[in-house]
Structure 1
């Protein structure tokens, strides 16, 4: 049966669209979720972190599963899992239920996303057609992040926060129905049949333990047995993960790749970039509603200039990398991020949005892209073409995991600052503003560290062909 490759692209890009959409669509619903389900301030961040940790922690396993079991089969499994847990999240009666649903939803995304990319690269031969397809793929993914906040605001204001999850269900049902028609079956890879499930469980379990320990540090104290035990368990599990990966025949993370200075510094830069981005997004979505009194839809619309600036920056960054190399563009992006976060940290409960928030949001959109694009290019510039997919998967996982860990640190310290302000006699509004400001300053500290990481990165000047290959691998 002959299938149109552009119909295949439509199915795969729509699936990736909803995966990216779910990273941002939930943010503007957080105040309503907290109020309806009775989340604590510390617990609320798990609605985001559970998804990103499981997505990042199992992303490489998802890619391996697609090779071993067949890309289309894993794609459909991931879609079904994503859709079922979206419904479960929309029907959640308690915080624990919603967090569990979000965690398994992240696992579904980790299965379908690399499988979709694998199907795309097989469907389109290397060259112009593949580059066009990758442009559509990347453009829809970026659009998903930008439209997510607006779509979330519309759904929350017109219906309920539950619809930010339930809206995925009819889309998933339609995609599952048309996948056998428009997406061809790809035979499983005949090579090594190893399946590093132990590595994925150890790595993700260690990260979950670390995040939980950081989150519990504020209410329980850093020296409490609970926190010390969680942090120690996390360190032990991650040490076990490294030991398993160093001996596995088909490791999730080929440790030899991390010997490349370009890849290891790119991974560090993306992890810090993820920490700054998720922290800023989480804090600002709550600030716009709980402090400035806006609706969910208004908060979504107020994020739009940041998304528009990011799209324009994505167009401009690639030629800048070609002309100046990766490191100067990354340095400029980090400096812009620091400036943006410092601007945002001066915003108060009152004052004009156009002068106190919009400039910082737009600068931040530019800076985040100016860091991430050259880092993605640098990550695959020095590895063999056959390992470009694995290298890109490693740094993507770094981004997701760095975001979750950074969000845990920022949320914990932001909440602590707000609590101290309340105890000192501040009003609740002033305490929330103080917590928001501290959180943004910590996010700014992440970007300062990113400057140091970028300073030791090699200065690469990739050709246009190398950049196109990097975009395809990403």
Structure 2
């Protein structure tokens, strides 16, 4: 098959990566990636007002980022393993910073969506390589890796928690554009410290990019997410929607067949035979699908049904976001003490209970906020405890020289889940504000069922 061959061979740096600085720098990368997810959700009503965007257009502002992100994660992970995770991480920070500037200056919905695609490309270069840099810095010290991943996860959770509040207050005072510009100093700081504090990771020879796999993966993901988004407007039984799902399935099957016969696949199928890897990827998909889909729906609910300002909507997210950071740290400590699987299964059961509680209350203007807050608090605790254990389980049996690829597979599964969750749950509430209460109930029921399946899969796959 056609491939791009790497002829450069590099030796690993002797300094194992200075774990403290590695954690700081990779956390900055994770923060900018996560910050734009929640901040952009809060900004959606303001963007719709300025540009006259439809619900489908608003979903594409979110999904364009997620789709580009998910499409290139595998390629970025392989590139990190073969050319150096530090180098690819740096490139990601540069691309993300430039794209954030373009988002802040966008004159139309289409330009904003294009800039969000560029942000997704930058994020794809950042995320798997940040996890790979952590794996390299910790070496074979599994306890240290769990602790660093829990703190890394907590930094992303802090961005999730702060995003709605920061975004809400910035939007209320300055409009939606500055919410993208705040990434610029963070990216600049990350670039400087990466260049001066972080050593390059180990690489290996004979790097061949799987172009056929990249193209078919991108097409399958594009078809799947785009079809789910359009299903909200056209209806699930529309012939074009059904054809879109069929085409996504055909291309997806072709992708896996290509990976099975390719000598240097972008997705090494042998990873899924490692103990716990497939289970961790499934759990990560479920967590992202339910969490980010819920954030999208709640952004519309708080502002369009309850009439909250962007700042108030940001504060209303606190029960969901404020304790995630602490829950991530607790989940990491539990994983180090009792193993990966109890926090994963137990956390998803708690999150399922939160969604189950919310399913008994319609998302209308009369819904008691204290009940909503309790449900969101349970979801936050559950997903926060499960996430670091899930990531640690995925990397536990992977060779260090393949940590970038393994991280990319895991983050791809999570991003696909997030993109499909936003598209699917957005379709549930599409058609006007009057559809949010009934669609919200369906969101909670579907989330609870998926989380219960995830908990069962985590326990059985241990």
Paired position in structure 2 for 1:142? 157
Determine if contact 2:164/2:317 at 8 Å carries over to the other structure. Answer: yes
Paired position in structure 2 for 1:424? none
Helix, strand or coil: the match of 1:251? coil
Paired position in structure 2 for 1:458? 461
Paired position in structure 1 for 2:183? 168
Deviations 1:405-445 (Å, cap 9, x if unpaired)?
Answer: 122222112226x5xxxxxxxxx5x5432332333333233
Deviations 1:134-179 (Å, cap 9, x if unpaired)?
Answer: 5653432332222112211121111111111122123334444554
Match of 2:286 among 266, 269, 272: 272
Paired position in structure 1 for 2:444? 440
Q: Aligned-pair distance for 1:182?
A: 3.7
Paired position in structure 2 for 1:39? 53
Higher relative contact order (CA 8 A, sep 6+): 2
Paired position in structure 1 for 2:384? 369
Helix, strand or coil: the match of 1:287? helix
Residues 222/261 of structure 1: CA separation in 2 closer, same or farther (3 Å cut):
farther
Match of 2:101 among 87, 97, 103: 87
Match of 1:107 among 121, 140, 148: 121
Match of 1:357 among 354, 363, 372: 372
Residues 222/77 of structure 1: CA separation in 2 closer, same or farther (3 Å cut):
same
Deviations 1:66-101 (Å, cap 9, x if unpaired)?
Answer: 233343432232122111211222222222222222
Q: Aligned-pair distance for 1:192?
A: 1.7
Q: Aligned-pair distance for 1:351?
A: 5.2
Looking at structure 1, the residues matched to 149 and 353 of structure 2 have their Cα atoms a distance apart, in angstroms, of 32
Q: Aligned-pair distance for 1:111?
A: 0.9
Give the unaligned 5+ runs of structure 2.
1-13
Looking at structure 1, the residues matched to 445 and 53 of structure 2 have their Cα atoms a distance apart, in angstroms, of 25
Deviations 1:312-336 (Å, cap 9, x if unpaired)?
Answer: 3223334544666544443332332
* 2:28 is equivalent to residue 25 of structure 1: no
Q: How does 1:269-418 map to 2 (within 5 A)?
A: 269-321=283-335, 325-345=339-359, 346=361, 347-350=363-366, 352-353=368-369, 355-383=370-398, 387=402, 389-415=404-430
Greater shift in the superposed pair: 26-35 or 163-172 = 163-172
Helix, strand or coil: the match of 1:349? coil
Question: What's the TM-score, normalizing by structure 2?
Answer: 0.85
* 2:222 is equivalent to residue 208 of structure 1: yes
Give the unaligned 5+ runs of structure 1.
419-427, 460-474
Determine if contact 2:103/2:115 at 8 Å carries over to the other structure. Answer: yes
Greater shift in the superposed pair: 158-167 or 262-271 = 262-271
Determine if contact 2:149/2:332 at 8 Å carries over to the other structure. Answer: no
Helix, strand or coil: the match of 2:364? coil
* 2:62 is equivalent to residue 48 of structure 1: yes
Over the residues paired in the alignment, what is the CA RMSD in angstroms?
A: 3.0
Helix, strand or coil: the match of 2:308? coil
Residues 278/258 of structure 1: CA separation in 2 closer, same or farther (3 Å cut):
same
Q: Aligned-pair distance for 1:360?
A: 0.9
Looking at structure 2, the residues matched to 213 and 105 of structure 1 have their Cα atoms a distance apart, in angstroms, of 22
Residues 344/30 of structure 1: CA separation in 2 closer, same or farther (3 Å cut):
farther
Looking at structure 2, the residues matched to 10 and 334 of structure 1 have their Cα atoms a distance apart, in angstroms, of 28
Residues 221/113 of structure 1: CA separation in 2 closer, same or farther (3 Å cut):
closer
Deviations 1:38-76 (Å, cap 9, x if unpaired)?
Answer: 221133222222212222232221122223334343223
Looking at structure 2, the residues matched to 323 and 265 of structure 1 have their Cα atoms a distance apart, in angstroms, of 20
Residues 129/168 of structure 1: CA separation in 2 closer, same or farther (3 Å cut):
same
Determine if contact 2:429/2:435 at 8 Å carries over to the other structure. Answer: no
Residues 209/12 of structure 1: CA separation in 2 closer, same or farther (3 Å cut):
same
